[in-house]
Structure 1
Amino acid sequence: MQFHIILVSPARPENVGAAARAMKTMGFTSLRIVNSDAHLQPPARWVAHGSGDILDNAVCFNTLEDALSDVTFSVASTARSRAHYHYYCSPVELAAQLIERKAWLSDVAIIFGREDSGLTNDELALADILTGVPMKADYPSLNLGQAVMVYCYQLADLIAQPDQHVKSNVPDQKQYLTLRLRMYQLLEKLNVADDEKLSQWIQQRIGFCEQRDVAMLHRLLNDIEKRL
């Protein structure tokens, strides 16, 4: 399973350098930058300290949607109190979620937001799962480099494990996205698309489904669509 670390509009080059150093230390190699050139500024390389190759090979995108266009599963980090959604997993719980997916999904993106404002609700909606670091203090904030290190450390064991071949009986690597779109189309057909709570539940919960659950939901939708 390939991991991509995505930084959305990072403002401080030092933070990008710290993130690159965290990645290199834990064995991660793929860095994607959205709408920023902070990684090209000298302070980023000073702080990266031996992780310049991560910065040199970073791939830039104009939008988060572009950065996720070829990604099969995505995880957005956010502060619990600021998000529009309610279903989260901690870094430890995220690792458990990804162990099951290692055999049938080819890659995962971990998304980190802006230092001052994080990710917008529209950007959070692009992710399959939301995650946050439980805080003991009243001020729920981590430096960007620290946040990247927490997740890289927690997920490093997945990188260390031997790669498994993605199961050939999985026809669509975008099964989560396809399932979500089919669910929304069903809501339209049933004239309940304006049910905000139901739509939010679909957005929040589908990402937690395991492969068998996703397959069964697709099968259920096939039966419902035929009946309709």
Structure 2
Amino acid sequence: MRLPVILVAPARAENIGAAARAMKTMGFTELRIVASEAHREPAARRVAHGAGDIIDNIQEFDTLEQALADVDFTVATTARSRAKFHYYATPQELLPVMKEKAQWMSTLALVFGREDSGLTNEELALADVLTGVPMVADYPSLNLGQAVMVYCYQLTELVREAPMETQQMVDTHQLQALRQRMSNLLTLLDVADDLKMADWVQQRIGLLEQRDTAMLHRLLHDIEKKLAG
């Protein structure tokens, strides 16, 4: 299983270096950068201190959608106020969800937004699950490097555990295919303009376990066959 960390448009090289150092400390190795060249500045490597290999192997992308092209399950960080109808998990609640997904998916991604404005609504819509760190203080957010450390620490069990040999990887695009089938069905039933319901359906799909996903595919197949006949 791969678990890349994705930083969207980070502005400060120091923050990228701090993120790389946090990743290295907790056993994460793959860093992707979207719409930024700040990692090329010397400060990134200086702050990374011992995580130069992560800086050297950064993958660059123009858009978040491109960075997620090979990802089977996406977790995006945001503030609760922006979660809308999306399922929202704390870092502690996120671990069991991702452990289950890791048993049948090959690539899970953790996405962090801009230092000043986070992720756009369009970028958040690309995620399967949203997450945020509950805070007592009035200050609205963590430093980017601190946020990466919190999640890498919380999820380090994922990268430390040996892959399960007893469970064979299945089609890792089941969730994406299910989203498309559900969208098509809502359109066919002429209820796609009920945005609240459509959002709820699409966003709850990310919580489905492997068996539930397979069973819902079977149900949709039967519904589609009945409607076509």
State the TM-score bracket (shorter-chain normalisation).
over 0.9
Matches within 5 A, 1:3-18: 3-18=3-18
Instruction: Provide structure 1 residue ranges, at least 5 long, that are not aligned to the other structure.
Output: none
Give the conservation status (yes or no) of the 8 Å contact 1:105–1:166. no
Per the alignment, residue 64 of structure 2 pairs with 64
Number of residue pairs matched by the alignment: 227
Corresponding position: 1:35 with 2:35? yes
TM superposition score normalised by structure 1? 0.96
**Matching residue of 2:82:** 82
Aligned ranges 1:88-99 → 2 under 5 Å? 88-99=88-99
Alignment of 1:40-189 (within 5 A): 40-165=40-165, 167-168=167-168, 170=170, 172-189=171-188
Q: Distance in 2 between matches of 1:129 and 1:208?
A: 8
SS across alignment from 2:23: helix
Q: Structure 2: how far apart are the matches of 1:9 and 1:139?
A: 22
Matched, 1:221 2:220: yes
1:114-164 Cα deviation digits (max 9, x unpaired): 001100111011111111111111223010000000000001111111112
Q: Is the 8 A contact 2:15 2:44 kept in 1?
A: yes
Unaligned ranges ≥5, structure 2: none
Percent identity for Structure 1 against Structure 2: 65
- SS across alignment from 1:24: helix
CA RMSD of aligned residues (A): 1.3
Whether the aligned pair in 2 keeps the contact of 1:33 and 1:59 (CA below 8 Å) is yes
Normalised TM-score (structure 2): 0.96
- Relative to structure 1, is the Cα distance of residues 29 and 166 closer, same or farther in structure 2, using a 3 angstrom cutoff? farther
Out of 178-187 and 131-140, give the one that drifted further.
Answer: 131-140
Shift of residue 20 of structure 1?
0.3
TM-superposed CA distance for 1:165, in Å, is 4.2
Offset of 1:86 from its aligned partner? Answer: 4.0
Q: Residues of 2 paired with 1:169 and 1:90: CA distance?
A: 27
Q: Name 1:191's counterpart in structure 2.
A: 190
Q: Displacement, 1:167?
A: 4.0
